[in-house]
Amino acid sequence: MSASHTIANRREHPRMLILDDKWGFAARVQQEVNLPGTVKVVTDLDSVEQTEWDALILNSAYQKVDTSNVFSKSYSRVADHLYIFKVLPEGHHGNFGVLDRVSGLNSAEDDVTLGLRWEIPGHEIAVKQGFDRELLTSLTEAAESRDTQSGLIIPDELPVGVVLSSFAIGPQGVVLAGTINAPKRGEVWFVPSEVSTLGPWINAAFASWRRLEPKKFPGVPDWWASSEWHSAEESAIALRHAEESETFERAKAKFEAIRVQLDLELNKAREEAAAGSRQLLRGQDDALQDAVRDALENLGFGVRDMDLEWVDKERREDFRITDPDDPQWLVLGDATGVSGNAKGGKLSVLQGYVTKYVFEETPDTIPGMWYLLNREIDKDPNVRSTILRADEIEPFAAQQGLILDTTALYVLLRHAHDLPEERPAIRQFLRTSIGLVALPNASAWIEARTAVAIASE
């Protein structure tokens, strides 16, 4: 395509093909998982332009072997850029087949064929340590349901740069499920067709692909769902969920009702937290402002929501914040969420709000300023970059200004939930802080308070 042209009708990512086998495979996939993005069911890959698609889900061969020439074999594969979710067949005429053919970083190395085998006696399998419990259960059930095992036979040596990850290994070293990563290729996932549902497997594959190519496979970032950033309610319920799940496995009939109830409670807590306190980690606009207001009030601050008072075209600061422990103390606060990093110009805007306040209210003391900032919202808070430069922060601090990272406010809120008696100390910490309170500052303060409490016991 010419550089002077742009694509006007690009489909929503991820763009997924399902190759149907005319026996209901596509219907099974769509029934068992809610696929995001653009989905197309085909019965012939020649009916589409593969460069317009990102992933392929199928239960037939994507690696073709041509043996018509008695002196050599030739191989052809679907487009290399496609990420593949392959469901291995239940059986096969003959005892051998081909899953894929891979090449490494060294062009001088020969390509290696990844072969399949069927009809291997045995039921015991070895699973990857730390593997997802739901996927582990489906693999063990699939292996138990078979008379014999089948899957990938690991070659003696793989080309440089090719990585084979085994989720479960059966008798004679056959790999029942796993992934293949090869240079300049989309990742391949393969699983037995006997797994009870494909949904959790396809979702796990998408999560892996999202880490490799987030633009092709957009979605909620992994850190957002991690236990590290759960709300207090989520963490408490998740802990009970894990404990009861272990008991459930030992006495399934007795504890099934408890686990179902906890699932409902955990889902409710996640929904409430996603719309509430966790907006401090990822929120923008009104959602962030509401979360900031609620967090400050939960800590015991008095918060006057100025957006309810300003005329729409004359809005200034979002909040006027007070503390019952110091009646003379007042700060003007403004909450902002941005996908990038902070903009120094916002500090000047806040200073202008203070000037207008002093002109209109003629107070005995000039109020301070809080810039409540949530930035780089799609990144894990632990890896977000530094907030502004020192030469921008220091002049702001000199005028009783504080940049308060809302991720720091989040961990302080969690600390207050765990130790309600710490609320006055948290308010004093924030009330007496100027310049910057970022996540490391808040975490260090909490650790110091915890260490003092332990030492005094």
Task: List pLDDT tens digits, range 198-223.
Answer: 999 999 999 999 999 988 888 755 56
What pTM was estimated for this model as a whole? 0.49
The crossing angle, in degrees rounded to 10, of helices 439-456 and 406-418 is 20
User: Which of 153, 132, 140 has its CA nearest to residue 201?
Assistant: 132
User: Which of 331, 310, 311 has its CA nearest to residue 321?
Assistant: 331
pLDDT tens for 266-322 read: 888 888 888 889 999 999 999 999 999 999 999 999 999 998 888 876 778 999 999
Length of the chain: 457
pLDDT tens for 122-179 read: 889 998 888 888 888 899 999 999 888 999 998 888 999 999 999 999 999 999 999 9
Mean pLDDT over 324-337 rounds to 94
Q: Residue 242: what pLDDT?
A: 77
Q: Is the pLDDT of residue 94 over 60?
A: no
Helix (H, G, I), strand (E, B) or coil at 126: strand
Q: CA-to-CA distance for 434 and 189, rounded, in angstroms?
A: 51
Decide if 292 contacts 284 (C-beta within 8 A).
Answer: no
Q: CA-to-CA distance for 160 and 168, rounded, in angstroms?
A: 23
Q: Which of 2-11, 92-101, 170-179, 184-193 has the lowest mean pLDDT?
A: 2-11
Q: CA-to-CA distance for 289 and 305, rounded, in angstroms?
A: 9
User: Which of 300, 233, 228 has its CA nearest to residue 266?
Assistant: 233
Helix (H, G, I), strand (E, B) or coil at 437: strand
Task: For residue 135, give both structure tokens.
Answer: 């996927």
What is the secondary structure of 212-266 as a DSSP string? H-TTTS--S-HHHHSGGG--HHHHHHHHHHHHHHHHHHHSHHHHHHHHHHHHHHH
Q: Which of 26-40, 307-321, 347-361 has the lowest mean pLDDT?
A: 307-321
Q: Residue 236: what pLDDT?
A: 87
Q: Residue 318: what pLDDT?
A: 92
Decide if 313 contacts 427 (C-beta within 8 A).
Answer: no
β-sheet bridge partners, residue 192: 88
Q: CA-to-CA distance for 72 and 322, rounded, in angstroms?
A: 82
Decide if 277 contacts 235 (C-beta within 8 A).
Answer: no
pLDDT tens for 221-239 read: 556 667 778 888 888 887 8
What is the residue-averaged pLDDT of the chain?
87
Helix (H, G, I), strand (E, B) or coil at 117: strand
Q: Identify residue 206 by its one-letter amino acid code.
A: F
